Chain A
Amino acid sequence: MDDDPSPAPGPSAEGTNVEGESPQIEPTVETEEATITDDAELERTLGLSGGLAIGIGTMIGAGIFVFPGLAAGNAGPAASVSFAIGAVVALLVALPASELATAMPKSGGGYYFISRGLGTLAGTVVGLSLWFGLVFATAFYLVGFGYYAVDTLAELGIAVGAELVIPIALLFGAGFTVLNVTGTENAAKLQNGVVALLLSILIVFLGYGGLDAAGLLGEPTAPERFAPAGIFPVFTTAALVFTSYLGFAQVATVAGEMRDPGRNLPLAMVGSVLIVGVLYVVTIFVATSAFGSEQLEQFGETAMVEVGRHYLGPIGAFAIVFGGLLATMSSANASVLSTSRAIYAVSRDALLPRRASRINLRYGTPHVALGLAGGPILVLTATGRVQLLAEVASFLHLIMYGLICVALIALRRDEPEWYDPDFRVPGYPVVPALGALCSVALIGFMQRESLYVGVGIMLLTVGWYLYYARDVELKGAL
């Protein structure tokens, strides 16, 4: 590390990777509406609603439409506490991440903050883990989508067995990848609409179900014990369902395209966590009020469909099935977009071959990066292991979250000249320290198998660093 005092905006990146490529870093001027480089300007086109749509759109699919059955089976009605714990941890990280994002509003999100704050090794591990984490998450969303697709067919009177879940998920996974490579339609506006529609469906449904469950409509239900399996499962469930809070970091991966980043990034990240957190807790309350947790567990991934049927009859079931299809699709789509940005950010810094960020001349899309996302996604989807996919995705993200908090503390302790965030974390240093601790603690409650897979992937990324990018110097390079 170069400790010489150097002129703002900080020492430039140095060194080359094994192929002799060096990081492509140019001085930029950030304004509210564009990033200005020497010869070109990059328009910032995402507004607050676009940012919220990415955050909420990514998260809502999992928490509401896939997890309630599994979570209630593990922890009983106390699963709503698990979701609340997840929301608190997510908030503790979203606040530091917001500060870093306003200081470095660039593509790549968490990877970018950590490589600049903690150096190349941590950057490589996080950058590649973010890629794999998103791949695991997307596979998880796709499997969820498969379950909803089968249920949709069932609602339409076409009974197909659960053995079609994976083939359908694979088909759509491949379809998404191809559409993302060839599709030049602007799906962002569609995403906004989908999220707005989903939120309306949920608010109507949860509003009605909540009133009913609270005993204001119909007959009050006899409550079962709040935490039938004790306290410990509440925490293991929190670790499992944390996958439903990964979306706020996806907002940071598009930080380079966000208008007025100093205002919109913190609002989008913190706002999306708050909104989905409340919805999740209410959802579990409504679901466990409708059915006992054992029964919910039997319903499995699509338990919410039965909950919908319980409160609103066939219309409720249909609304939930339809919502589930939309939500898991929008989660998968938003994640694929973030994955290609994560890969781009890493390859720009010469931690992956530059080829990985080539843009297709015909479609103008980053086909290599999208392929690097889509291929592994399909392999993982084929395993169909919902819990494992979710936990490994959470594991890899939680490592990043912990390091984001550490990077914030490292940067704040010795603020470089270029470090000038528009948003500063309230309650420093308690909030980032707690964020780091909680992230690590949550990992401790995961299944052993997920830990092995997660640690294995991290060791691979360390190996890649030693082989490929040992001589690349990124710390402080903006």
Chain B
Amino acid sequence: MTRILVPLAILEGGSVSAGLTELLEPMNVTVLGYHVLPEQTPPDQARLQYEERATDALEDLATEFGAEDGTADYRLVFTHDRKQTFDRVAEATDSPVYAIPGATGPIDRILVALTGDVAVERIVSFVAELIGDHEIGVTLFLATDEEATGRELLETSARALAGNEIDVRTELAVDQPPLEALAAAAVDHDAIVMGERAPSLRTLVFGEEAERVAAESVGPVLVVRHREDDADREDPASTEER
């Protein structure tokens, strides 16, 4: 089963909404409690002071995600660099997906954006696994300049999901600014699943796309991490932005 990393700023009141807990409960979850320190502070020094408090909070959270059934565990990391910690722990726990926990109530419908530099099949198969027995509808979303190929990609993916008895809709945004279109489509949805971008100058300057989407949409965002073998993805979605 796919493992999902749930990073939380554990000492800054980071929490997980009930809707996300319910959605992820059947999956394997690693709660990553992290605390970012200014460079003046050695991580070990912070550990001495905060470890106990943080561990207590993390134990409770892991229980909510199903630690007692053995599907959830937690890690506690003190760091100067959040991104580096996410990447390292995601590798170490073998988690292909991470969550940006937003605020949401019960989840009825999620938006799945076939964007990013991640192979569409990986996103779609993850969504099928995530929905499982939940009564949750899916809206497949794609922003592209090439209407015909985009529609075809959406149809193929929708068929794959419909085969799992999931209520699927599709939404195609042609010639629109992709991020804005995605944010607009996210209204009426309780959570978002999207693919990660390969690291580039743009993410360096503007920040992670997923984090901007999370900030726009308020709700939780599940991000399918980019892998090396995703690099040569050749479909319209990868040309939607230049």
Residues in A lying within 8 Å of B, measured CB to CB: 24, 33-35, 37, 39-43, 45-46, 106-107, 180-181, 183-188, 254, 256-257, 337, 340-341, 344, 348, 357-359, 363-366, 370
Nearest A-chain residue to B39, judged by Cβ = A188
CA distance A254 to B39 in the complex (A): 10
Residues of B within 8 A of A43 (CB): 43, 77-81, 84-85, 88
Q: Are A41 and B76 in touch, CB under 8 angstroms?
A: yes
Q: Are A366 and B85 in touch, CB under 8 angstroms?
A: no
Of the residues B37, B42, B54, contact of A344 by C-beta under 8 Å: B42
Q: Are A45 and B40 in touch, CB under 8 angstroms?
A: no
Residues of B within 8 A of A186 (CB): 38-39, 80
Q: Are B42 and A341 in touch, CB under 8 angstroms?
A: yes
Known contacts A358-B49, A359-B46: A366-B40 contact under CB 8 Å? yes
Residues of B within 8 A of A344 (CB): 42, 44-45
Contacting residues of chain B (23-75) with chain A, CB-CB under 8 angstroms: 37-51, 54-55, 75
Q: Are A256 and B75 in touch, CB under 8 angstroms?
A: no
Output the least CB separation between A329 and chain B (Å). 16
Residues of B within 8 A of A183 (CB): 38, 40
Nearest A-chain residue to B37, judged by Cβ = A364
Residues of A within 8 A of B42 (CB): 107, 254, 256-257, 341, 344, 366
**Nearest 3 CB-CB pairs, A to B?**
A43-B79, A42-B43, A45-B80
CA distance A389 to B46 in the complex (A): 32
Residues of A within 8 A of B50 (CB): 359
Known: A35-B44, A43-B81, A337-B39. 18 other contacts (CB 8 A): A33-B84, A34-B88, A39-B76, A41-B75, A42-B43, A42-B44, A42-B78, A186-B38, A187-B39, A188-B39, A256-B42, A344-B42, A344-B45, A359-B41, A359-B45, A366-B41, A366-B42, A370-B40
Of the residues B45, B49, B51, B77, contact of A34 by C-beta under 8 Å: B77
Output the least CB separation between B92 and chain A (Å). 9
Interface centre among B42, B49, B51 (most CB of A within 10 A): B42
Output the least CB separation between B175 and chain A (Å). 38
Q: Are B38 and A365 in touch, CB under 8 angstroms?
A: yes
Q: Are B48 and A348 in touch, CB under 8 angstroms?
A: yes
Nearest B-chain residue to A186, judged by Cβ = B39
Output the least CB separation between A395 and chain B (Å). 26
Of the residues A185, A348, A363, A364, contact of B46 by C-beta under 8 Å: A364
Nearest B-chain residue to A32, judged by Cβ = B88
Output the least CB separation between B86 and chain A (Å). 10
Residues of B within 8 A of A180 (CB): 40
Residues of B within 8 A of A370 (CB): 40
Contacting residues of chain B (88-110) with chain A, CB-CB under 8 angstroms: 88-89
CA distance A45 to B81 in the complex (A): 6
Residues of A within 8 A of B79 (CB): 42-43, 45
Known contacts A34-B88, A359-B49: A40-B40 contact under CB 8 Å? no
Residues of B within 8 A of A187 (CB): 39
Q: Are A40 and B47 in touch, CB under 8 angstroms?
A: yes
Of the residues B41, B76, B80, contact of A40 by C-beta under 8 Å: B76
Nearest A-chain residue to B87, judged by Cβ = A33
Known contacts A34-B88, A357-B48: A364-B75 contact under CB 8 Å? no
What would be 12 A-B contacts, judged by CB atoms less than 8 Å apart?
Answer: A39-B51, A40-B76, A41-B76, A43-B79, A187-B39, A256-B43, A257-B42, A337-B39, A341-B42, A344-B42, A358-B49, A359-B45
Q: Are B48 and A24 in touch, CB under 8 angstroms?
A: yes
CA distance A24 to B47 in the complex (A): 11
Interface centre among A24, A42, A370 (most CB of B within 10 A): A42
Residues of A within 8 A of B45 (CB): 107, 344, 348, 357, 359, 366
Of the residues A37, A40, A348, A363, contact of B38 by C-beta under 8 Å: A363
Residues of A within 8 A of B44 (CB): 35, 42, 106-107, 256, 344, 348
Output the least CB separation between A82 and chain B (Å). 34
Residues of B within 8 A of A106 (CB): 44
CA distance A180 to B40 in the complex (A): 7
Nearest A-chain residue to B36, judged by Cβ = A364
Residues of A within 8 A of B39 (CB): 186-188, 337
Nearest A-chain residue to B75, judged by Cβ = A41
Residues of B within 8 A of A359 (CB): 41, 45-46, 49-50
Nearest A-chain residue to B50, judged by Cβ = A359
Output the least CB separation between B77 and chain A (Å). 4
Of the residues A41, A107, A181, A348, contact of B78 by C-beta under 8 Å: A41
Output the least CB separation between B182 and chain A (Å). 30
CA distance A239 to B160 in the complex (A): 76
